[in-house]
């Protein structure tokens, strides 16, 4: 990476205590960083801690029953030690987020214009009129037709794809330095997905915003990301530039994920699935969390491997890396 990262997460761990007193470690040992103008994909299956990680970065996790440790360095300051007040000043301004559910993420009782204006007025010393002009301009930038008219529409008048554009307009209205997008296209039709991804890519190029894109979809990763962090059972298990990851995956879980992608250039048969299930995170195994499902398992896997740099901007959490020799 050429530039200093705008966001650098180090050894992030999040634990929840349920009402029954049971502790669940949703995330631990998560480290990644993203530089201005670049897109980092965080991939993994449901429940692997992707969303919890993003909410922890934003400081949006519920405060009761939650413990967050590690460091979240944003623009040189550790967000985990900042006051709620400082975080509020950053959120929506230099740190923005869009969510998976465009249908429910906008308040049904206010016009989309009002909701964008609210974000601008909160962070910029501008009047309502000026903010409204800015909001219309943002709606135009996310390619919403007739933005000045749409400004007065309530969310229910818009389709899911249009609502996600509004969310993006709102998030980018104050020109954030980092945009976290949590499964932004999962709830949308495939054609709309492509449009939204194109839009995000174009806007990133225009604004130089760093993007953290959270997804379970490797197709989306290949499409828009520069770098990837693969998460499994609350940990980052592999980190790599995107082409490298697809060419030479260095963690057995990544290998399994790539193997489960349908491909046209192979004979039709059953899709490869990863055998077994994700471990219970209230009682995670002491060793490698993937060991129980791993075809390359050895006795050493009973102790937890670290996420180690293996050169070429890559890191993996596997005793047996590099995996090339095992392929035969």
Residue ranges binding other proteins (CB under 8 A): 19, 58, 60, 87-93, 96-97, 99, 101, 104-111, 115, 118-119, 122-123, 154, 156-157, 167, 170-171
Q: What CA–CA distance (Å, rounded) separates 8 from 80?
A: 12
* Contact in structure between 153 and 109 (CB atoms under 8 Å): no
Q: With respect to other proteins, which residue has the nearer C-beta, 19 or 145?
A: 19
Q: With respect to other proteins, which residue has the nearer C-beta, 167 or 255?
A: 167
Nearest-approach distance from CB 282 to other proteins, in angstroms: 21
Q: With respect to other proteins, which residue has the nearer C-beta, 154 or 296?
A: 154
- Neighbouring residues of 125: CB distance < 8 A, sequence distance ≥ 6: none
Q: Which among 171, 300, 315 is positioned nearest to 250, based on CA atoms?
A: 315
Q: With respect to other proteins, which residue has the nearer C-beta, 122 or 293?
A: 122
Q: With respect to other proteins, which residue has the nearer C-beta, 200 or 321?
A: 200
CA 322, distance to chain mean position in Å, is: 26
Phi, psi of 147, rounded to the nearest 5 degrees: -60, -35
Nearest-approach distance from CB 279 to other proteins, in angstroms: 28
Nearest-approach distance from CB 212 to other proteins, in angstroms: 14
Nearest-approach distance from CB 82 to other proteins, in angstroms: 13
Nearest-approach distance from CB 157 to other proteins, in angstroms: 7
Pairing of strands 227-232, 39-43: parallel
* Contact in structure between 61 and 45 (CB atoms under 8 Å): no
The residue whose two tokens read 């995107």 is: 242
End-to-end CA distance of the chain: 33
Q: What CA–CA distance (Å, rounded) separates 301 from 280?
A: 18
DSSP state of 307: -
Nearest-approach distance from CB 109 to other proteins, in angstroms: 4
Nearest-approach distance from CB 59 to other proteins, in angstroms: 9
* Contact in structure between 119 and 170 (CB atoms under 8 Å): yes
Q: With respect to other proteins, which residue has the nearer C-beta, 19 or 269?
A: 19
Q: What CA–CA distance (Å, rounded) separates 214 from 228?
A: 10
Q: With respect to other proteins, which residue has the nearer C-beta, 101 or 133?
A: 101
């Amino acid at each position: 990476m050429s530039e200093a990262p705008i966001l650098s997460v180090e050894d992030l761990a999040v634990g929840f205590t349920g009402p029954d007193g049971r502790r669940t470690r949703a995330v631990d040992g998560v480290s990644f960083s993203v530089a201005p103008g670049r897109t980092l994909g965080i991939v993994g299956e449901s429940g692997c801690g992707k969303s919890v990680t993003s909410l922890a970065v934003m400081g949006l996790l519920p405060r009761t029953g939650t413990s967050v440790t590690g460091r979240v360095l944003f623009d040189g300051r550790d967000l985990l030690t900042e006051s709620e007040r400082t975080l509020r000043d950053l959120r929506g301004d230099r740190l923005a987020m869009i969510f998976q559910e465009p249908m429910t993420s906008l308040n049904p009782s206010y016009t989309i214009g009002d909701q964008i204006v609210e974000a601008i007025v909160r962070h910029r010393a501008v009047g309502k009129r000026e903010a409204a002009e800015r909001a219309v301009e943002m709606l135009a930038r996310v390619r919403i037709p007739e933005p000045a008219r749409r400004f007065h529409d309530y969310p229910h008048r818009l389709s899911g794809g249009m609502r996600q554009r509004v969310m993006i307009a709102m998030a980018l209205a104050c020109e954030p330095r980092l945009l976290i997008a949590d499964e932004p296209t999962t709830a949308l039709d495939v054609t709309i997905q492509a449009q939204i991804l194109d839009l995000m890519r174009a806007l990133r190029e225009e604004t130089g915003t760093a993007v953290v894109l959270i997804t379970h979809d490797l197709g989306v990763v290949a499409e828009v990301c520069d770098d990837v962090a693969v998460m499994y059972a609350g940990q980052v298990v592999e980190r790599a530039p995107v082409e490298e990851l697809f060419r030479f995956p260095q963690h057995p879980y990544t290998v399994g994920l790539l193997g489960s992608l349908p491909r046209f250039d192979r004979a039709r048969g059953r899709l490869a699935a990863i055998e077994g299930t994700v471990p219970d995170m209230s009682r995670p195994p002491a060793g490698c969390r993937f060991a129980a499902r791993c075809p390359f398992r050895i006795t050493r896997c009973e102790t937890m491997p670290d996420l180690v740099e293996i050169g070429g901007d890559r890191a993996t959490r596997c005793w047996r890396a590099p995996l090339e020799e095992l392929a035969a």
